[in-house]
Structures are given as structure tokens and as C-alpha cells.
């Protein structure tokens, strides 16, 4: 893959795509207002063609996709047989091809190709042909590719509320994703340079706004044990009433009968020490390690913030500490996934049909 033309812009700092252009806080404000684009051309693109593409993908993953109309957006997860997350896919279909926008394409494309069997589906890693651009502004203002007549434009369902068939564990009366108007656009990679004259923001600006919206991302929040419930990902990427798929038994069992063993929180971190948390830093309650930071940033209004995955049993009112190298940073937690998520989701238990109610003595 050739170097991104955005790296040649003044102030650009980064290896594959610009992390910032010299003013991360100003870039955040510009991005949040809808006035900037973000170069995400290091991300992957997979094309699924053939009449069986949506029913086949529906049978493998967590979201209902058989009714996806041309131009509509969806999000789905590929789980292992134990319900742990392996891949996350942002999906838009143009009536001929289902386009999967992913963080990394090669491993997923190879796995999908092995699973085609006799179905009428072809799998192509299209990363070399198409590049991803992110924005919180109007994505229709960008020159999206449209090889089959439908612009390849994905609007993040996270900002639209709970998807059909999903459930939200976060207790906030107004979810912070209300301002998350995020979208991704696919452009022909050979036309990427034509966008460099637009207002830009680096990937760090997008990261800070994503954390503010409590929006999980595969490459940061997931580890080898992660199930969707721990990240509140049933909100946008899981349909609880669809047919069978890998890992469905765990999804249903944890939601209906159990609790996720860990939970996602937002951490508001004391910045007076002059150091900032990073991915992988330990989170402590007292002297006990209860989890790890998954994403961290300095937000233009909130200051140092992070997402962290901690033990479900951690007291929701407990002050926490983040250990960065040898420095302990004070942190307060905002509950995203409560300890009661799952079976205790306050659904009243009704008597079985036909059950006999015995009169009291």
C-alpha cells in the first residue's frame, strides 16, 4: 500500500496515517463541529459479491442482515464458538456487493473465503482499491465511490440509538452518542490526494470523540476474552431475535441468565501529574488490579479521559487509580455497563403459562 498523501500535509505526524497535524485539540473541535475529515486509509475493505452474500453473512455473524436495503448501514460481529469477539464489520450494501469496512482485512477475508462452500458468494480484499475517510459532518459532501450506482457511505448506527433487536445496558438517560454523527466514506484510493485540500483532523482527534461517545472499537477494547455484553455492543451490532450464528448460545445465555464478567467504564483522569494514561495501563481499586485501560485521550472539553474494562464486581462508587509506568493517576468512573447487566436487567419474571397458583393456607 502506498503512503497516504495526507502525510505530506504541513504538520502531519504519523507513520501510516496522520495522528495529528500539530494541534490535536483544535482538530478535535473542528472535527466535532462537522468541519473536518479524517484519513483512515490504513483500514481495510472487503467486497462480498453474489446473490447469497447477505443471507450467508447473516448466518455467520451477530446482526440481522437479510433485510439490508441498498445504501443502508449496519454493524455486525463475528464471534468464536464461545461467544468471544473475533472481528467487527461495518456493512453497507449497494444492491450488488456488500462492503465490509474493517480495521484489518487480510485475515478476515481469508477466513470468509474458506467458509463459502457451495454458496454463490465471492470474497475480495479491496483494500488496495478503496480507502476510508471518516467525518462527523455530512458524508454526502464527499466524493464516495459508487461502482454499482449507490454511494459507498456508512453511517454509524451507534449514534442513532439502540438498533432493532438490540439492547442498551448503559444507564444514562441521554446516551452521550447523541452527538456522534460519525460516518465513513469509501473513495477510490487513487483519488485520495484530491481530498487533501479539505479541512483535516488527525486520528487522535477522532479517538477522543469516540471515547466521549462510549463507542467501542475492536482493536482497542477487545482482547482474547471479550464478549459483546462487556462493551455494551449489543446496542448496535447484535440482534437478539435472529437465527443461529457462531457464539449465539453465549450471547443469549449471558443476556438472559447471567452477567458479563467484566464491564466497560469511562474514566475521568486527574491530569495534574503531567502524564497521561495509555492503552494497557492497569486500573486499580485500592491495591487490587481490577482491569486495564483500553483507550485514552485528552479531550478538548473533558480533559484526560479513557475507556477501561474492569471486573464486574468493582464497586460503581469506588475511586480508581490508573498506573502509568510508576505514576498513579486518580480516576473516577462513569458506568457504561452496570454490574447488573444481563439477567438482572429488571425484566419481571412472569409465571409459566398453565402454572397453578395455590391459595394460601
Answer for the pair 233, 55: CB distance below 8 angstroms, yes or no: no
Could you read off the pLDDT of 141-153 as tens digits, one per residue? 999 999 999 999 9
Per the structure block, which three cell numbers stand in for 18? 496522520
The matching CATH number, chosen from 3.40.50.880, 3.10.20.340, 2.40.30.110, 1.10.357.10, for 261-335 is 2.40.30.110
CA atoms within 13 A on the CB side of 265: 31
Ordered alpha helix ranges (H), the chain: 24-32, 53-60, 106-114, 203-212, 218-221, 248-257
Whether 8-235 shares its CATH topology with 261-335 is answered no
Task: Identify the H or E element spanning 201.
Answer: strand 200-201
Query: Has residue 355 got a pLDDT over 50?
Result: no
Q: What is the pLDDT of residue 174?
A: 84
Answer for the pair 94, 70: CB distance below 8 angstroms, yes or no: yes
**Angle formed by the axes of helices 203-212 and 24-32, nearest 10°:** 60
Q: What is the pLDDT of residue 176?
A: 95
Sign of CA dihedral 126, 131, 132, 137: negative
Q: For residue 67, what are the contacts with CB-CB under 8 A and spacing of at least 6? A: none
Q: What's the pTM value of the predicted model, to 2 decimals?
A: 0.93
Q: State how far the Cα of 307 lies from the Cα of 84, in Å rounded to an integer.
A: 19
212: number of Cβ within 10 Å: 22
Main-chain dihedrals φ then ψ at residue 45, nearest 5 degrees: -140, 130
Could you read off the pLDDT of 297-316 as tens digits, one per residue? 999 999 999 999 999 999 99
Specify the residue for cell string 468464536. 80
User: Residue ranges per domain, the chain?
Assistant: 8-235, 261-335
In CATH, 8-235 is 2.40.50.140 = no
Could you read off the pLDDT of 162-175 as tens digits, one per residue? 999 999 999 878 89
Amino acid at each position: 500500500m502506498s503512503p497516504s498523501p495526507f502525510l505530506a500535509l504541513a504538520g502531519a505526524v504519523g507513520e501510516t496515517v496522520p495522528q495529528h497535524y500539530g494541534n490535536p485539540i483544535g482538530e478535535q473541535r473542528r472535527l466535532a463541529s462537522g468541519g473536518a475529515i479524517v484519513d483512515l486509509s490504513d483500514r481495510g475493505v472487503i467486497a462480498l459479491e453474489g446473490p447469497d452474500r447477505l443471507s450467508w453473512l447473516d448466518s455467520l455473524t451477530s446482526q440481522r442482515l437479510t433485510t439490508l436495503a441498498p445504501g443502508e448501514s449496519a454493524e455486525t460481529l463475528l464471534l468464536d464458538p464461545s461467544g468471544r469477539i473475533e472481528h467487527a464489520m461495518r456493512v453497507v450494501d449497494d444492491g450488488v456487493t456488500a462492503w465490509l469496512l474493517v480495521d484489518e482485512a487480510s485475515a478476515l477475508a481469508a477466513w470468509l473465503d474458506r467458509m463459502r462452500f457451495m454458496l454463490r458468494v465471492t470474497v475480495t480484499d479491496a483494500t488496495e482499491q478503496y480507502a476510508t475517510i471518516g467525518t462527523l459532518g455530512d458524508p454526502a459532501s464527499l466524493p464516495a465511490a459508487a461502482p454499482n450506482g449507490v454511494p459507498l457511505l456508512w453511517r454509524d448506527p451507534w449514534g442513532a440509538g439502540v438498533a432493532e433487536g438490540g439492547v442498551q445496558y448503559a444507564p444514562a438517560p441521554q446516551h452521550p452518542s447523541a452527538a456522534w454523527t460519525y460516518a465513513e466514506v469509501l473513495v477510490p484510493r487513487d483519488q485520495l490526494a484530491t481530498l487533501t485540500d479539505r479541512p483535516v483532523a488527525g486520528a487522535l482527534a477522532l479517538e477522543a470523540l469516540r471515547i466521549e461517545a462510549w463507542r467501542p472499537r475492536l482493536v482497542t477494547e477487545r482482547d482474547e476474552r471479550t464478549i459483546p455484553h462487556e462493551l455494551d455492543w449489543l446496542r448496535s451490532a447484535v440482534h437478539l431475535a435472529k437465527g443461529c450464528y457462531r457464539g449465539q448460545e453465549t450471547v443469549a445465555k449471558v443476556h438472559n441468565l447471567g452477567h458479563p464478567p467484566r464491564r466497560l467504564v469511562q474514566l475521568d483522569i486527574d491530569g495534574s501529574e503531567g502524564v497521561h494514561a495509555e492503552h494497557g495501563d492497569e486500573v486499580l481499586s485500592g491495591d487490587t488490579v481490577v482491569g486495564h485501560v483500553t483507550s485514552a485521550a485528552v479531550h478538548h472539553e473533558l480533559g484526560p479521559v479513557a475507556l477501561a474494562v474492569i471486573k464486574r464486581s468493582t464497586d460503581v462508587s469506588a475511586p480508581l487509580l490508573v498506573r502509568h509506568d510508576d505514576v498513579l493517576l486518580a480516576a473516577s468512573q462513569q458506568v457504561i455497563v452496570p454490574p447488573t447487566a444481563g439477567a438482572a436487567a429488571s425484566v419481571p419474571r412472569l409465571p409459566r403459562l398453565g402454572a397453578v397458583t395455590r391459595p394460601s393456607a
